[in-house]
Amino acid sequence: MGDIAFEEYRRAIINTIEQYIPENYGYERHISCLAGNCSFTINWQGMIRPCVMQSMPQVNVFDKGFLQGWETISNETKKILINEACVSCRYRPICNTCAAAALLETGNYDGIPEYICEYTKEFYRIMKEGARIC
């Protein structure tokens, strides 16, 4: 990224966070990416899952068949909720957290992944300082 583009990028991030109004973004606790909503993965063992980062829910399509596997994954995905704090968090627009990250970092879908929290806040601090990180 050139200096001008980087400065625009940096200012856009700062403006986004400083002017953040949760109602304007409409984040939800449900999974908002494609995983389990309209996409899936099937590993070499035949386990269908919402995405490659999630180890559950899962169904063996060799045993249950694809249609039943997909319906289970789709229905179970609708029950997954991330933490309420992440929905209203002012850093949410620049945070890379997701249900899979919460599960992997904390063991629960509604856990708050501390590592990602710290990463996001440090990224914002660096942007505020105007320093380049790459």
Q: Taking contact as CB under 6 A, which single stretch among the options 3-11, 17-25, 55-63, 94-102 is the one that binds ligand SF4?
A: 94-102
Question: Could you say whether residue 117 binds ligand SF4 (CB under 6 A)?
Answer: yes
CA distance 105 to 45: 24
Q: Taking contact as CB under 6 A, which single stretch among the options 12-20, 56-64, 67-75, 81-89 is the one that binds ligand SF4?
A: 81-89
CA distance 108 to 100: 9
The site map against ligand SF4 for 14-53 (x = CB under 6 A) is: -------------------x-x---------------x-x
Using an 8 Å Cβ cutoff, are 80 and 53 in contact?
no
Question: Could you say whether residue 112 binds ligand SF4 (CB under 6 A)?
Answer: yes
Q: In this complex, which beta carbon is closest to ligand SF4, that of residue 81 or of residue 117?
A: 117
CA distance 57 to 75: 10
Closest CA to 34 of 68, 90, 73: 73
Closest distance to ligand SF4 from the beta carbon of 106 (Å): 10
Contact footprint for ligand SF4 (CB under 6 A)? 33, 35, 51, 53-54, 85-86, 89, 91-92, 95, 97-100, 112-113, 116-117, 120
